[in-house]
Structure 1
Amino acid sequence: MDSLLLFMSFVFLGSVLGQVSYSIPEEMAKGSLVGNIAQDLGLDVKRLKTGKARIYTREGPEYIELNKERGVLVIKEPIDREALCGQTTPCALDFQIILENPMQFYSITVEITDINDNSPGFKNSEIKFDINELSQIGSKFVLEKAIDNDVGVNGLQGYSLSSSGIFSLNPYRIGSSRNVEMVLKKHLDREKQQRLFLVLTALDGGDPQLSGTMLIVITVLDANDNAPVCTQTEYKTNVKENSLKGAVLTTVSASDADEGPHGRIQYSISNVPEGALEMFHVDKDNGVVTLMGKLDYEKFRHYEIDVQASDEGGNSDVCKVIIEVLDTNDNPPAINIMSALSIIAVMTVHDPDSDDNGFVKCILGENVPFVIKSTSNGFYSLVTDSDLDRETASEYNITVTCSDEGVPSLSSSVTLTLQISDVNDNAPVFERSSYEAYIVENNTPGLSIFTVKARDADWNQNARVSYILEDSSVNGVPVSSYVSVSADSGVIHAVRSFDYEQIKDFQFRVKAQDGGSPPLSSNVSVKIMIQDQNDNPPQVLYPVQTGGSLVAEMVPRSADVGYLVTKVVAVDVDSGQNAWLSYKLQKATDRALFEVGLQNGEIRTIRQVTDKDAVKQRLTVIVEDNGQPSRSATVIVNVAVADSFPEVLSEFTDFTHDKEYNDNLTFYLVLALAVVSFLFITCLVVIISVKIYRWRQSRVLYHSNLPVIPYYPPRYSDTLGTGTLQHVYNYEVCRTTDSRKSDYMKCIFSKPDNKYWIYHHGWFNWTNVNPPQWDDLDFGRNMILQL
């Protein structure tokens, strides 16, 4: 059987009725007006709506969209002329406007004009030259060419060189590109100036004018007074776009009148168009230029390359290589598919055979939500069969197979790739239902605490998530004065420095909102917990450190081992281990006599008190917390080791006057001696007066036989539980067994431990006898004295 020829093609129904051209500058904002297409095409706006007008473009993104309500073309996305067309001019967008019922086509051309949005720039920020000091005036040094992606007047227009008086610029044009070389105006003297620094500036012609700079570093050398000279100024070559890697394009050559190392020439590529650096290679020794990449006539048709010929002395010349790319048939025809509502594509199938050999049926592959329907005259339409969900399947590869009914049957197939566009039907979802974060107090404002993250199952703009801090208050203050959230990244920053002692935690909510229209959103709760730092030292509550008076703890000389002298009480406003306190004895008059409880701060004796122990004992206790690093406080505890008040008084009179000696030591010694003498005489007179007065009273009482009136002094209580005094005392009067021979005394009876407090001639003592007897008095225990 003769072979069956089967034709398949996609057709557009209708005809091209008109063509309109517009010209707009690049980078116009989204929504900007391109033109009134309804007016320019002579169409009624209602026709755009009833005809379901739409824009059809063969390839690439759609930068223009049709506003059917107004009948105008507007910018859909900002257009970057350089990204769209590169150096090609003019740069234009070609598309069609399609109407239905009946189907009509209108061709639209929008020319994109250039604006000055690119500054001239150099590939290298610095270029170095080694120039011999014998270089002749007029020697030329080729500089790197600047690149400006703009075209026309906005493109590269010229160069300027910083003033040095030694070099000047000599701009010239080779072909269609502007080059520049530096010319020596004065002789160089290496012994006077070994290195020069110049700045080359490239300028464009835009308004405002933009520029770019490159630093030129010149090192002055000796004895190379001839520069290489290219054999040809330009080398032209043609190459097919399907040429293989390694293909030889041309060979550049240069000569140098010098001999030896100064005449040895090496070749290098000094300048290539943007994006073509890896496309070409030049052999440094023989100047052979070879192809290293894949050419594409549809992208770049023309290359201009600067090959620099340099000797070892730093002199150089530039050889221009112009490469023309020739086209080859390496692209198959493209099949363009039109979409309209639920109709995905329309196709026509033609088989020139007759009868059953020319009768064609078309079917689709399995598991696709589409069906193919046959219309008259060999037309087929591809339509949707069910709802589409981009989040389930964002792309379909639909294979259409058409077979005739001949024997054997012949068939042909084509595969269509269908991308499903997105609608905003999914709200952002946070990775967690709630967040907790920690930050150490005394932080730096602006510190990043942590990041919240939400994801949106939609695509592109509909999936672009922004984060917003919801309005709320913390302790009556707006939460925005505590934290802020980055709209793009979701990073939460501290606005202020936190203090754990003022606020320990707070909560707020963050909203994630997508970029759809209308936008969808969700929110999440965030809790910030402040962590404590050891920023507060311990504070000593007892004993109170006073400036003008002296507090001393009394220890009798009969005190046993373990006797409780007092207790240091301290607190720390920090928390956790930063508030765990320990007590240590830092200094002591006699370290062998006292110790401090590490945990409770109790000061106890560690041996039996003896008569040899000094009356004045000065203890320095340091209180430390458990922070890292730890903080501490010190307290001075004065202890009197004595059994009687006069003994303590005589020893402690000058205790409060322990000061640092100064330059007037003699004055203070004399003053102290006078004060002590005065106090001694005063005390002596007072004691004698009191003794005489009490002796008289006792004699009067003895002779009068009057009942004794008890004396009840005020109650004393040890609120801190230091063990120094008992809590409650009852008082009664007692006398010695022989009242005629002994002086009157008062006994203070203590019920809790059945001990007596004895007051006799101004002396305070304890006794363990019940009832007390003068001969059995056991003087001792503790006395609290405040001068």
Structure 2
Amino acid sequence: ISLTCISSECRSFYELRRHIELLLLLLLALSAVAGQARYSIPEEQAEGSFVGNIARDLGLDVTRLISGKARIITKGGRQYVDLNKDKGILVIKERIDREELCGKTTPCSFSFEVILENPIQLYRVTVEVTDINDNSPSFPKDEIILKIAESVASGTRFSLESADDADVGFNDIQRYGLKPSDHFKVEVQNQSDGGRFVEMVLQNPLDREKEETHSLVLIASDGGEPRRSGTVRIHITVLDANDNAPVCSQPVYKAEVKENSPEGTVITTVSANDADKGANGEVTYSIAHVVKETKQLFEVNVQTGEIKVAGKLDFEKSKTYQLNVQASDHGGYSDTCKVVIQITDENDNVPTIQLMSFSNSISEDSPPGTTIAVLNVDDEDSDGNGAVKCSINSDVPFKIESSLTGYYTIVTEDFLDRESNPEYNLTITVSDQGSPPLSSSKNINVKVSDVNDSPPKFDHSEYTKTVAENNSPGLSVFTVSANDADWGQNARVSYFLQERDINGLAVSSLVSVNSDTGVIHAVKSFDYEQIKWFEFNVTVRDAGSPPLSSVATVKIVVQDQNDNPPQVLYPVQTGGSLVAEMVPRSADVGYLVTKVVAVDVDSGQNAWLSYKLQKATDRALFEVGLQNGEIRTIRQVTDKDAVKQRLTVIVEDNGQPSRSATVIVNVAVADSFPEVLSEFTELTHDKEYNDNLTFYLVFALAVVSFLFITCLVVIISVKIYRWRQSRILYHSNLPVIPYYPPRYSDTLGSATLPHVYNYEVCRTTDSRKSDVKYILKWFYFRVHSTSLDLSKAHSLCIHKKTNKQQQQQPQKNKKNKKLALW
């Protein structure tokens, strides 16, 4: 077996690998300081296998990973690694095939970002996937057929299809072997671009006559543990002599082609010449010594040597390709030329936007500079085609800032106000600098969460409402309304009364307010005569934290109703006395007898009073002034007129409906008191009868009480004893006649009684008790007597005394007397 070592220094391979690992560890330490972490794991690890302690390597606490909602963000690809936040470690999420992930690229790694919130932190993690020897070398074909002229000299080289091993490094193909090795040996040629191709070298001349065919086995072995290998069988047919090999016009061809060029696009043409003639001079072209993926992208015309595009070229996958074009004649001779194809970039990739972190809600009291989103922008094109510019719409209070390469943050530029704008629609636009430029956009919606910064406001700062008095308690007066520009709980308002005293009463005893609806109710019935209006304050308060409030002033005006009848002030009506106005028989027409004085506690037209004569003993003798209540004679008094005149005067107000009061005015038409006394004596007897009746009723009640309350027997006996004694002392009654002449000015020119009279009463000695009182400036004659019997009186003298003014008046002026009978 012939073995060839591919590495120039196989013995120093392990030493070189050790140096590379030390360098990687140094780079990993530097990246951790910069907010990055790097790990290395072998491929094909089982799910859940440990990758690294990310919390320790990034200097983070496990609680920070949990509170920050740490998560892994990948850019569109598969997620091979998962984060265990409870332990702060990275573990394998799914099986990793290094060959599927990176192909031949070394070192093979993938990156992702670990992002945390509150505050937002971003860490980049790179995981290198090391190769294991899990793939065997393989040849493109199971069998290679060669035709070699017998005249080929020793040392002639024959290109063979090289094997392919998906592994890399030491696990890749390290050597080739050929057996049997009687005539040929195998050599591996290294190219400047790192590629390799296998050649079979003739060691001993061939003799077709001795051996027309040869069967060989080409073995490709890698350097892994355990070692893997692949084989291909070579069938050689020895031909007759063809002593000239094709020669390429130039050893290296260089060409350029745009990516995404359509299939069939001619890239370049290779050519070769063969000095032989005939069939031995005909040259055919083929692509040899390239990997399978390259062969799928390009094709060569067998006859002309034109190299055309056969697949989709992508600059982002590979920028250059190297083809080995083999020119062969029919005699088995060949030559190989190199074709280097440069792929030029086209602006064929639209920039992409990926949200790494986004808060769709932000508080309106957030200060400027608050981050709401972190995004990653990427363009797979190169140079100007891959240079991107990111922006957002200008009509929002946000701006975009660049943080890391390819990363942008969206932050607030100004203070927010939810009441002015509750949400914002942001359009993120990213464009490259290609020609024509390509762009993409992404829309996000940011809602502004409410803060209790707006106090509730009443529709009016002052309210005035008129309420009719005598309203029913609980009456809904009216509604105050307030609005709060905030939202939700911060906009829910409640209404309250501010306590204060109104005429000594708490405002809550007059009105109440519904805390939810703002409806103001009357707690009690209002009385205009007690309170005509009152003011109070209503506070509206929202349910925010802290709550905000405002105050409105409410004025309730009580509207008067005709709920009070007129009250007669004069003449005074008493239950135990009879008042009489004296009119002399000489009174002329229009003589002022007296004046009815009344008031109404209502107001306005409800208090306008009118006086009417309802009943009279003689309607033709007296009249009542409609507006002033004055009682005057309407004709001359004559001797035929009765002494006792009874007038019923009704006083009405002007309300709707009207209310009234009546007063009885007794008028005595006489010139002397004896005449008056004789006329009114029978009234006193009725009074005595009424008094006795009342006494008997009280006595009957006392007797009934005695039956039920035996403990009061002694007290009742004493009262009966005292009552019997009083019967002995007081066996007769005489009415008492006080005199109340008012002093009126004669508005019609005829005087009434503008004088002052005093009277003296003389009584007999057998009167048991007497009391005479004289009051100046009034005709007041009061005889308080418990018993007065006219039949037993020897004399009753009334002496008239006049003052100086009376002496100057003519004797013909009659005296007006007012009698009170008790």
Which TM class, normalised by the smaller chain length?
0.3 to 0.5
Larger radius of gyration: 2
TM-score between both structures, scaled by the size of structure 1? 0.44
TM-score between both structures, scaled by the size of structure 2? 0.42
